[in-house]
Amino acid sequence: MSSTWRRAAVFSLFSLLAHRVVSDTAISPSFSYGTETVRGVNLGGWLVLEVRGSLDRCRPHPWITPSLFDNTGNDNIVDEWTFAELQDTATATSALQNHWNSWITEQDFADIAAAGLNHVRLPIGYWAFDVGPGEPYIQGQVPYLQNAVGWAGNYGLKVIVDLHGVPGSQNGFDNSGQRMNYPEWQSNSTNVQRTDAIVKTIASMFANNPQVVSIIEPINEPAGYDNNGNQMLDVVQQYYYDSYGNIRYSFGTSEESNTVVLLHDAFQSLSYWSGFETPSNWQGVAMDTHIYQMFSDSEVAYSDSQHISAACNYASTLSGFDLWLIVGEWSPAATDCATYLNGRGIGARYDGSYAGSSYVGSCDGLTGSASTFSSSYQTFLRQFWEAQTITFENNAQGWIQWTWKTESADEWSYQAGLANGWIPQNPTDLLYPNICG
Ligand SMILES: *[C@@H]1O[C@H](CO)[C@@H](O)[C@H](O)[C@H]1NC(C)=O
């Protein structure tokens, strides 16, 4: 099918609904996006394991729980697919269940709320809902998702359910479930149809609970830079039209939900998305952009003050966008020093151990336990944290830090920042309110 045909099909579906859209009241989300400030954390490394692929581009995630992988004793286990494929199933299942039971508990939700935050973003993979023939994934995540939503509700937190991995992989990152050189989700319509069905399942699961699940994000980080004759971005755009229907009409009738649809920018500039699903014809659509400063040779070489001014300078990139805009991933970390951040067995640009990179400095004292962090480094983390939160609050709807906790990369951990003082107990208590001038 040509994308024009598919787009036309969706528009005709919506034209059927259009007269109802016009007469309905607009969406009433349980959080006042656009006026209230979003402040939150990602629950990374819980229901989706986080390793990182070796691709020298874009914005990976840290290896949040290296012990889960080290304990396998198998260096070929590099993602959740191989975690299930290359071990005895009972061993892999019990390791995952222990992890799901312990990595995040109700106490974390209590602590997140006590830290003055109002949102958590919760990554989950498609395999929690649908494992196809030949796919080795281990299931069992959905009850944890449901528990998490209950716990969030107990503490007044909003949940963004984030579909982090889709069939065929949308980016080839290990955190999509399967590390691969080139994503395949977009090149196979069965993959996309399976993903649509999963989004419908998630949306209907929480259709009656927009009070807690205020947002569904139908895909994380589709690799718009691997565009191959526009295929990826065409498929993503069509998928975003279909996701709107699947999330906003989750009752299976013409009744609209109060669930907001969060679209990742697919690594395109915001101007690429200008005019897309805007409030004149679409209600309850928000854009997610991810901002990191350590995944290119030039950024990793920035001085501390260059990192801070780069954060402040995002103001002009972010401001004035026509949808609600949330910086759904970012970090006070400024180097790629964290163990295996770039993938198991792959080094860091910062200390020159990454193929093709050149030495900026030693990673000693910049990652690992906060007890090894100098006071000047902790002061920098605080300043960089404030420069980013100020910029994301003043020029977008707010922020969701990557990530709540890590095993051994405290510079990435909100929890460690709170414990050691480079993140304030109340996120509005700033020491450097004028850091961006
Ligand atoms: C498309 O993906 C599905 C799984 O989602 C798979 O079963 C099928 O073989 C794929 N088709 C092609 C042509 O690769």
Instruction: Read off the pTM.
Output: 0.92
Cα 340 from chain centre: 19
Q: What is the mean pLDDT of residues 279-295?
A: 95
- Interval between CA 191 and ligand 1 midpoint (Å): 7
Band of the pLDDT at 350, cuts 50, 70, 90?
A: very high
- Interval between CA 325 and ligand 1 midpoint (Å): 34
Band of the pLDDT at 75, cuts 50, 70, 90?
A: confident
Band of the pLDDT at 69, cuts 50, 70, 90?
A: confident
Query: What confidence tens digit (pLDDT) does each residue in 298-313 have?
Result: 999 999 999 999 999 9
Catalytic-residue membership of 221 = yes
Is a pLDDT exceeding 50 seen at residue 221? yes
Q: Which tops the pLDDT comparison, 2 or 419?
A: 419
Token pair 């975690």 in the structure block, residue: 83
Q: Which amino acid is at 380?
A: F
Catalytic-residue membership of 329 = yes
* HSE (side-chain half, CA atoms, 13 Å) at 197: 12
Among 255, 253, 268, 383, which Cα is nearest to 317's? 268
Query: In angstroms, rounded to a whole number, what is the distance separating the alpha carbons of residues 142 and 321?
Result: 35
431 within some domain? no
Q: Is 9 helix (H, G, I), strand (E, B) or coil?
A: helix
Q: Is 235 helix (H, G, I), strand (E, B) or coil?
A: helix
The answer to whether residues 178 and 131 touch, using CB atoms and an 8 Å cutoff, is no
Query: In angstroms, rounded to a whole number, what is the distance separating the alpha carbons of residues 345 and 75?
Result: 9
Is a pLDDT exceeding 80 seen at residue 183? yes
173 within some domain? yes
SS (H, E, C) 93-110: HHHHHHHHHHCCCHHHHH
**H or E element: which one contains 382?**
helix 375-395
Residue 186 beta carbon below 6 angstroms from any ligand 1 atom: no
14 within some domain? no
Query: What confidence tens digit (pLDDT) does each residue in 122-141 have?
Result: 999 999 999 999 999 999 99
Band of the pLDDT at 56, cuts 50, 70, 90?
A: very low
Is a pLDDT exceeding 50 seen at residue 3? no
Residue 198 beta carbon below 6 angstroms from any ligand 1 atom: no
The pLDDT mean for the chain works out to: 91
Query: In angstroms, rounded to a whole number, what is the distance separating the alpha carbons of residues 244 and 203?
Result: 10
Residue located nearest, by CA, to atom 8 of ligand 1 = 190
The answer to whether residues 301 and 378 touch, using CB atoms and an 8 Å cutoff, is no
Query: In angstroms, rounded to a whole number, what is the distance separating the alpha carbons of residues 150 and 170?
Result: 29
Residue located nearest, by CA, to atom 11 of ligand 1 = 188
CATH assignment at residue 194: 3.20.20.80
Maximum Cα–Cα distance for the chain, whole Å?
62
Residue 194 beta carbon below 6 angstroms from any ligand 1 atom: yes
Band of the pLDDT at 51, cuts 50, 70, 90?
A: low
Query: In angstroms, rounded to a whole number, what is the distance separating the alpha carbons of residues 80 and 403?
Result: 19
For residue 278, CA distances in Å to 114, 275, 285, 321 come to 35, 6, 8, 10
Q: What is the mean pLDDT of residues 156-164?
A: 98
Q: State residue 18's pLDDT score.
A: 44
106 within some domain? yes
- Interval between CA 100 and ligand 1 midpoint (Å): 30
24 within some domain? no
Among 351, 249, 238, which Cα is nearest to 7's? 238
DSSP structure class, residue 224: T
Q: Is 85 helix (H, G, I), strand (E, B) or coil?
A: helix
436 within some domain? no
Q: What is the mean pLDDT of residues 29-39?
A: 97
Q: Which mutation among 170, 188, 191, 198 tests ligand 1's pocket best, with the greatest number of atoms within 8 A of CB? A: 188
Query: Which atom of ligand 1 lies closest to the CA of 167?
Result: 5
Q: What is the rounded radius of gyration, in angstroms, for the C-alpha atoms of the chain?
A: 21
- Interval between CA 167 and ligand 1 midpoint (Å): 9
Residue 193 beta carbon below 6 angstroms from any ligand 1 atom: no
Q: What is the mean pLDDT of residues 173-191?
A: 91
Is a pLDDT exceeding 90 seen at residue 92? yes
Cis? peptide before 403, omega within 30° of 0: yes
Q: What is the mean pLDDT of residues 339-363?
A: 89
Residue 188 beta carbon below 6 angstroms from any ligand 1 atom: yes
Band of the pLDDT at 335, cuts 50, 70, 90?
A: very high
Q: What is the mean pLDDT of residues 107-116?
A: 98
Query: What confidence tens digit (pLDDT) does each residue in 357-367 have?
Result: 999 999 999 99
Query: Which atom of ligand 1 lies closest to the CA of 189?
Result: 1
- Interval between CA 143 and ligand 1 midpoint (Å): 28
Residue 398 beta carbon below 6 angstroms from any ligand 1 atom: no
Q: Which structural domain range is residue 414 located in?
A: 35-420
Residue 189 beta carbon below 6 angstroms from any ligand 1 atom: no
Among candidate residues 221, 256, 386, 411, the one labeled active-site is 221
Among candidate residues 217, 329, 386, 411, the one labeled active-site is 329
* HSE (side-chain half, CA atoms, 13 Å) at 437: 8
Q: Which mutation among 190, 191, 194, 198 tests ligand 1's pocket best, with the greatest number of atoms within 8 A of CB? A: 190
Residue 344 beta carbon below 6 angstroms from any ligand 1 atom: no
Q: State residue 59's pLDDT score.
A: 38
Residue 250 beta carbon below 6 angstroms from any ligand 1 atom: no
178 within some domain? yes
DSSP structure class, residue 25: P
- Interval between CA 184 and ligand 1 midpoint (Å): 9
- Interval between CA 138 and ligand 1 midpoint (Å): 20
Tally of domains within the chain: 1
10 within some domain? no
Q: What residues does 401 pair with on adjacent strands?
A: 41
